[in-house]
């Protein structure tokens, strides 16, 4: 039996137990997957429990993805570059950290017929997940990434952190420059909570969608609601769209590959998970 946990604060609404449960059941793996509320500053104590109670691995969400770095004996290259870890394997008392968000997102792109390689990408937002996506896009040979954020200094910082990873052209712009920045995008990603259920804000103006080329994919990382105002409008004007459910499922499957130390047929597993959820 494999013993897994997900830690964060808040943690009550985490879908990780459902998604990992659907995947591990489909694989016929005997498992236990618990949610554990761990507040900021509580990592040291949690890790002592994970080791002494023989937890095999754990996923991390807010506020631990960065703080965990100092407790790791090993870290994957992408997680090190993004300075963010969402998956930890515990082996004989030592911890190995990974970040599966970038791969999870790319697998969701593949499902829609897109990929990072050679793509021109525009991302709205510059929070934790964007740093991971920019790192993954640069490592996978995206042609360019433009980061647009309400607080422009954060967009600049995200680009600076990924500078030099590869030849990917990195730039940043202000929210007001959205339309001008969209003209040649292959992939547009909303990585802000605008339009998310329970979040008071939504896009006040979606005119910029008309500046996107016809073949673009409009990707919203939000999965609740399944169709945000952004996705509804993009669909209405004939653009291809995807929500964040694919990323959520694929990042979990990529984490399960680390926990189980085996490769999974990702696209086949996606079908099984979505049918079991
Ligand atoms: P975060 O670190 O809190 O960053 C939030 C970003 O959104 C910041 O850049 C912030 O801009 C911007 N923002 C917030 N409210 C805004 C508003 N009213 N107007 C304009 N911009 C606003 O969050 P995160 O972890 O990066 O996550 C971002 C989104 O991705 C969330 O919706 C999250 O649910 C989603 N997500 C989905 C998955 C998945 O598996 N599908 C995984 C991770 C994240 P400022 O810098 O100006 O504050």
DSSP structure string for 65-127: TTGGGGG-SEE-HHHHHHT---EEEEETTEEEEE--HHHHHHHHHHHTT--STT-EEEEE--S
Within-domain flag for 235: yes
User: Which tokens in the block code for residue 272?
Assistant: 């099984």
The whole-number pLDDT of residue 57 equals 98
Within-domain flag for 106: no
CATH code, domain carrying 258: 3.40.50.10860
Average pLDDT value for residue range 140-159: 97
Question: What is the whole-number distance in angstroms between the Cα of residue 127 and the centre of ligand 1?
Answer: 5
- Name the closest-CA residue to atom 27, ligand 1: 129
Within-domain flag for 215: yes
169 falls in which pLDDT band (50, 70, 90)?
very high
Closest atom of ligand 1 relative to the 129 alpha carbon: 26
Within-domain flag for 70: yes
Residue 138 CB burial class (10 angstroms; 0-12, 13-18, ≥19): buried
203 and 271, same domain (yes or no): no
Within-domain flag for 38: yes
88 and 133, same domain (yes or no): no
What's the CA gap between 104 and 133, in Å, rounded? 10
164 and 187, same domain (yes or no): yes
Give the mean pLDDT of the chain: 97
150 falls in which pLDDT band (50, 70, 90)?
very high
62 and 179, same domain (yes or no): no
20 and 87, same domain (yes or no): yes
Within-domain flag for 104: no
153 and 212, same domain (yes or no): yes
Within-domain flag for 105: no
The whole-number pLDDT of residue 236 equals 98
Within-domain flag for 261: yes
φ, ψ of residue 177 to 5 degrees: the values are -100, 15
63 falls in which pLDDT band (50, 70, 90)?
very high
* Ligand 1 pocket test target in 62, 105, 111, 193 with most atoms within 8 Å of CB: 193
150 and 208, same domain (yes or no): yes
191 and 87, same domain (yes or no): no
The whole-number pLDDT of residue 55 equals 98
pTM for the full predicted model: 0.96
pLDDT for 178-236, tens place per residue?
A: 999 999 999 999 999 999 998 889 999 999 999 999 999 999 999 999 999 999 999 99
Closest atom of ligand 1 relative to the 154 alpha carbon: 46
CATH code, domain carrying 190: 3.40.50.720
Average pLDDT value for residue range 1-22: 96
Tally the domains of the chain: 2
Q: Please check the confidence at residue 53 and state whether its pLDDT lies above 90.
A: yes
Q: Give the residue numbers spanning the domain of 145.
A: 113-243
92 and 121, same domain (yes or no): no
Comparing CA positions, the residue from 59, 57, 74 lying closest to residue 1 is: 57
Q: Please check the confidence at residue 77 and state whether its pLDDT lies above 90.
A: yes
Bridge partners (DSSP) of residue 97 are: 75, 88
32 and 136, same domain (yes or no): no
Contact in structure between 147 and 134 (CB atoms under 8 Å): yes
161 and 223, same domain (yes or no): yes
What's the CA gap between 31 and 58, in Å, rounded? 13
Ligand 1: residues within 6 Å at CB? 101, 125-130, 149-151, 154, 191-194, 196, 201, 221-223, 244, 247-248, 251
Question: What is the whole-number distance in angstroms between the Cα of residue 196 and the centre of ligand 1?
Answer: 10
124 and 47, same domain (yes or no): no
Average pLDDT value for residue range 117-123: 98
Active site residue 65: yes
């Amino acid at each position: 039996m494999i013993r897994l946990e997900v830690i964060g604060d808040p943690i009550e609404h985490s879908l990780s137990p459902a998604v990992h449960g659907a995947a591990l059941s489909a694989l016929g793996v005997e498992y236990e997957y618990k949610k554990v509320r761990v507040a900021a500053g509580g990592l040291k104590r949690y890790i002592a429990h994970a080791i002494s109670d023989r937890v095999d691995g754990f996923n991390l969400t807010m506020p631990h993805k960065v703080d965990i770095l100092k407790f790791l004996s090993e870290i994957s290259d992408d997680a090190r570059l993004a300075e963010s870890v969402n998956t930890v394997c515990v082996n004989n008392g030592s911890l190995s950290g990974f970040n599966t968000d970038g791969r999870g997102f790319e697998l969701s792109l593949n499902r829609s017929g897109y990929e990072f390689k050679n793509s021109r990408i525009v991302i709205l937002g510059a929070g934790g997940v964007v740093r991971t996506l920019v790192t993954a896009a640069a490592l996978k040979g995206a042609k360019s990434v433009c980061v647009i954020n309400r607080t422009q200094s954060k967009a600049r910082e995200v680009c600076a952190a990924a500078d030099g990873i590869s030849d990917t052209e990195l730039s940043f712009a202000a929210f007001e420059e959205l339309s001008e920045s969209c003209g040649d995008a292959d992939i547009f990603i909303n990585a802000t909570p605008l339009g998310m259920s329970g979040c008071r804000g939504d896009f006040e103006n979606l005119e910029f969608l008309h500046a996107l080329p016809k073949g673009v994919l409009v990707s919203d990382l939000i999965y609740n609601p399944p169709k945000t105002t952004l996705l509804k409008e993009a669909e209405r004007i004939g653009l291809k769209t995807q929500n964040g459910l694919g990323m959520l499922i694929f990042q979990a499957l990529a984490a399960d590959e680390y926990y189980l130390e085996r490769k999974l047929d990702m696209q086949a597993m996606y079908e099984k998970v979505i049918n079991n959820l």
